[in-house]
């Protein structure tokens, strides 16, 4: 089975670490859900969100040249457009504000 970026798959949590969770996909292939890809909100402890043997839906977000698979749980949840945070308005320029030091 070829694992392709963008594919949503079902899997089972087989390991939990301080930096994420390992999920077994079809045919024994395992990928990592990094702690930042578990939920939209801040995740301090992976164990608060996932338990061993949990069934999860994941999205493949990358496959590196060594075959390591990066997965996301939070990207499987389709948010309505109105729930997405508004993009900040671009004002142009360099993003830096000029400061005058003549008053010092």
Three-state secondary structure along 47-102? HHCCCCCCEEEEEEEEECCCCCEEEECHHHCCCCHHHCCCCCCCCCCCCCCCCCCC
Q: What is the torsional sign of CA 85, 89, 94, 98? A: negative
The verdict on residue 37 lying in a domain is yes
The pLDDT value recorded for residue 70 is 97
Number of domains in the chain: 1
CATH number for position 22: 2.40.50.140
- Please choose, from the candidates 44, 45, 41, the residue with its C-alpha nearest in 3D space to the C-alpha of residue 73: 41
Q: Is residue 30 part of a domain?
A: yes
Neighbouring C-beta atoms of residue 85, cutoff 10 Å: 7
What are the tens digits of pLDDT across the range 9-46?
999 999 999 999 999 998 889 999 999 999 999 999 99
Using 50, 70 and 90 to split pLDDT, how confident is the model at 6? very high
Query: What residue numbers bound the domain in which 37 lies?
Result: 8-70
Within a domain: residue 25? Answer: yes
Is 94 among the domain residues?
Answer: no
Q: Does the pLDDT value for residue 101 go beyond 90?
A: no
- Closest by Cα among 11, 15, 28 to 71: 11
User: Does the predicted TM-score (pTM) go above 0.75?
Assistant: no
């Amino acid at each position: 089975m070829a694992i392709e970026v963008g594919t949503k798959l079902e899997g089972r949590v087989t390991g939990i670490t301080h930096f994420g969770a390992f999920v077994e996909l079809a045919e024994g292939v395992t990928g990592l859900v990094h702690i930042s890809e578990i939920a939209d909100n801040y995740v301090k402890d992976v164990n608060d969100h996932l338990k061993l043997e949990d069934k999860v839906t994941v999205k493949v977000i990358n496959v590196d040249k060594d075959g390591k698979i990066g997965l996301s749980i939070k990207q499987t949840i389709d948010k309505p457009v109105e729930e997405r945070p508004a993009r900040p308005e671009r004002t142009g320029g360099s993003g830096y504000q000029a400061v005058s030091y003549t008053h010092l």
